[in-house]
Structure 1
Amino acid sequence: MNNPKYTMIIQWSEEDNCYVVGFSDFPGQQWRTHGNSYTEAVSNGVEVLELLIEDYQIAGETLPVPKTYYDQVA
């Protein structure tokens, strides 16, 4: 993966008793993976992001434009 600039959100879920991971730049399912530790959630998130980008490319779909810090505070 060539340094994608997508936002990865990691949040504790009391309901699931684990960290859940989502990618707000991609439409669809809010949470895409999880981890029992923060480190595991990060690792799983990176793996899922790589697969998500690959799926878009295989399907010939245009990748979403990553939001930037300035997009979110403006």
Structure 2
Amino acid sequence: MENLRLPIIIEIDEDGYYIVTCPLFRGCHSCGESIDEALENIKEVIEMCLEETNLEELNKFVGFRELEIAQNV
């Protein structure tokens, strides 16, 4: 079996839970009380997504950038 390197986004919500998203799959997200728990959970979700997805059909990950926008306060 070949290992895949997939991009993930890790955030923390207002309740202190870690939210992990894999942007290559629509609706692919999970959470946990710790980063380690959230990462284990997202691995399970990604494995389910991979069972339903042809890898050639995935969007190719390009990267993240910060975008500065003026804010009216």
Q: What is the TM-score of this pair, normalised by structure 2?
A: 0.67
Where does the alignment leave 5 or more consecutive residues of structure 2 unmatched? 65-73
Identity of paired residues, percent? 28
| Structure with the higher fraction of residues in helix conformation | 1
User: For residues 22 and 50 of structure 1, what CA distance do their matches in structure 2 show?
Assistant: 13
Question: Post-superposition shift, 1:7?
Answer: 0.7
* Structure possessing the higher relative contact order (Cα contacts under 8 Å, 6 or more residues apart): 1
Where does the alignment leave 5 or more consecutive residues of structure 1 unmatched? none
Aligned residues: 65
Query: Partner residue of 2:71?
Result: none
Q: What is the TM-score of this pair, normalised by structure 1?
A: 0.66
Confirm or deny: 8 A CA contact 1:33 1:45 kept in the other structure. yes
Q: Based on CA coordinates, which of the two structures has the bigger radius of gyration? A: 2
Dislocated runs of 4+, deviation >3 Å: none
Query: Partner residue of 1:43?
Result: 40
